[in-house]
Amino acid sequence: MDANVLIRFLTGEPPEMADRAERLLERAQGGDLVLRLHAVVLAETVWVLQSFYGRSRAEISGALIPLLTEQGLRVERSGVMVKALARMTNANVDFADALLAETARSRNEGVASFDVDFRKLEVLWHEPD
């Protein structure tokens, strides 16, 4: 599933496309089909909701977390995605940073970055010398 389907569903805009997106998700919830959601699509959805629609991190995670656990939706590394959405809100960081940190944590790895936001993400952080 592409980000534009999620965005239409979550924003209700434009109404005709939002209705079509809702029907598609209902079919998946009913077991008629399975929709796959890749991490890149989730990241794009978060970015568009923040940058274009002006939604807060809390609004975004509040809408997406329940959706990611719906029957009929197969989310790549769903546990990591849900944790990243929650951490994005709790630590007040970008979703991409939260996702990188949660992925590293799930693998017992660290993150190399100049971005000091990783201090807030409770992950082993390596700042290059």
Domain count, the chain: 1
Q: Residue 16's domain spans which residues?
A: 3-126
Q: What is the pLDDT of residue 22?
A: 96
Q: What is the DSSP string of 43-100?
A: HHHHHHHHHTT---HHHHHHHHHHHHTSTTEEETTHHHHHHHHHHHHHHT--HHHHHH
Pull the structure tokens for residue 102. 């949660």
Cross-strand pairs, 73: 35
Q: What is the mean pLDDT of each run of 10 residues along the chain (129 residues)?
A: 97 98 95 95 98 98 94 93 97 97 97 95 94
Q: What is the pTM of this model?
A: 0.92
